[in-house]
Chains A and B, each alone.
Chain A
Amino acid sequence: MKKVFLRALGTVLLLSCAYSATAHDLMVVDPWVRAAPPNAPALGVFMGLENHSGADRSVVAARTTLAVDRVELHRTMKVGEVMKMVPQELIPVPAHTTTLLKPGSWHVMLIGPEKVPAMGDMVQLTLVFDDGSEQTVEAVVRKGKMMMQGHDHQMSHE
């Protein structure tokens, strides 16, 4: 944990020395698609978004090479014992913080997949940021609701 923190700190220090912002100021960590029934009308995509820069950023859109009706940014919010599912215009990633996309919180929705991918399949996802930059990642399809082992340090950045 401490080692990971130090490494992260080191990365931040290193990046803060850079003279210009690069795409790697914003890192997409451990993207994954939640395994779903073969007839699922919607698929959730989750990941950590690490902003190592001093500038606030946000995800404003996402797209995928998977055949789907549309891609939306969503957030689940708990109000009492009722869960509200609310489409979002953007997912904020403030400077020097990590926004965790996870079940029960922020996520990307792939709505109306023509074919639901199987466990272990890779799904290509492109995130579009508010500064016009884009990042394309491969998200693995897996079960579960927790982040992968070794990435639990991100929880403290919420």
Chain B
Amino acid sequence: MLLGLTLAVGGCEQTAKAPQTRSAFVLPEAATISDFSLSHVELGSYDIEATRGKWSLLFFGYTHCPDVCPTELFMLSEMMRALEQDPGAVSQSPQVVFVSVDPKRDSLQHLQQYAGFYHPDFIGVTSEQATIDRLCESLGVFYERVYYKDGKALDLEPSMPVPEDLSDSYLINHSASILLVNPAGKLHAVFAPPHDPQTIISDLAAIQAGWRS
């Protein structure tokens, strides 16, 4: 999806001030995100309007995630702590948003408690599965549920029912990219893994310096 997006707009005139970034892939033209409405346990609705006026870093995952989400959320918490030490490193601190692709198991309260552990400013949001699926498709975020029985992955056709005893014990393979949404509510850049706090900070600073709303 992202590749398609790149190709589609690749022929457009390059912005004069394309920022020099070390790891971020900056879209030649920020992309409109299809309308979505997610929920947060205290803030209520989290939609495009909620992203306006600030820079947001979106990471998609789930709290049952064995390894990748804890690693990424810890990395993002390190980034926040580095920014607290050196607030001038960027012109505006980003809002970190953890989007759960697993609303079946991640209640809003559970999700926020989980995300907030890494940093009190992190917010955890989700919605009905269909809404999540539309948003993921719009942003080029991939995820898939995988069921294991006796250590082996089950090869389930979409039409096949999930065995009763496994209905809550699946793993999810998912994109580990971090998406940057700009203050106009558009997808601005993508940070592909692996991630490093200092690189994200310097790329964010470069992107913000070249930003004109």
Contact = CB atoms under 8 A, between A and B. Distances in A.
Interface stretch (B47-55, B67-75, B86-94): B67-75
Interface of chain B, helix or strand or loop or mixed?
mixed
Interface stretch (A13-21, A51-59, A81-89, A132-140): A81-89
A103 B71 contact: yes
B176 A39 contact: no
A147 B177 CA distance: 24
Contacts of A157: none
Contact of B176 (A38, A83, A88, A145): A83
Given A41-B63, A143-B74, A85 B117 contact: no
Contact of B70 (A36, A38, A74, A87): A36
Contact of B113 (A39, A81, A84, A86): A39
A10 interface: no
B66 A74 contact: yes
Interface string B180-213: 0000000000001110000000000000000000
Interface string B24-68: 000000000000000000000000000000000000000111111
Contact of B174 (A42, A82, A107, A143): A82
A39 B171 CA distance: 17
B177 to A, nearest CB: 5
Contacts of B74: 34, 143-145
A76 B117 contact: no
Contacts of B177: 81
Nearest to A89: B151
Interface string B75-107: 100000000000000000000000000000100
Interface residues of B, number: 32
A104 B66 contact: no
A76 B175 contact: no
Nearest to A116: B117
A74 B63 contact: no
25 contacts: A34-B70, A36-B70, A37-B113, A38-B113, A40-B63, A40-B114, A42-B66, A44-B66, A44-B67, A74-B66, A74-B67, A76-B67, A81-B193, A83-B68, A83-B174, A84-B146, A85-B67, A85-B68, A85-B173, A88-B151, A89-B151, A103-B71, A107-B66, A107-B67, A145-B71
Given A40-B117, A84-B173, 7 more contacts: A37-B113, A83-B173, A85-B68, A89-B151, A109-B66, A111-B66, A144-B74
Nearest to A109: B66
B126 to A, nearest CB: 15
B114 A42 contact: no
A78 interface: yes
A85 B143 CA distance: 12
A46 B59 CA distance: 24
B117 A36 contact: yes
Contacts of A42: 64-66
Given A41-B63, A82-B174, A76 B68 contact: yes
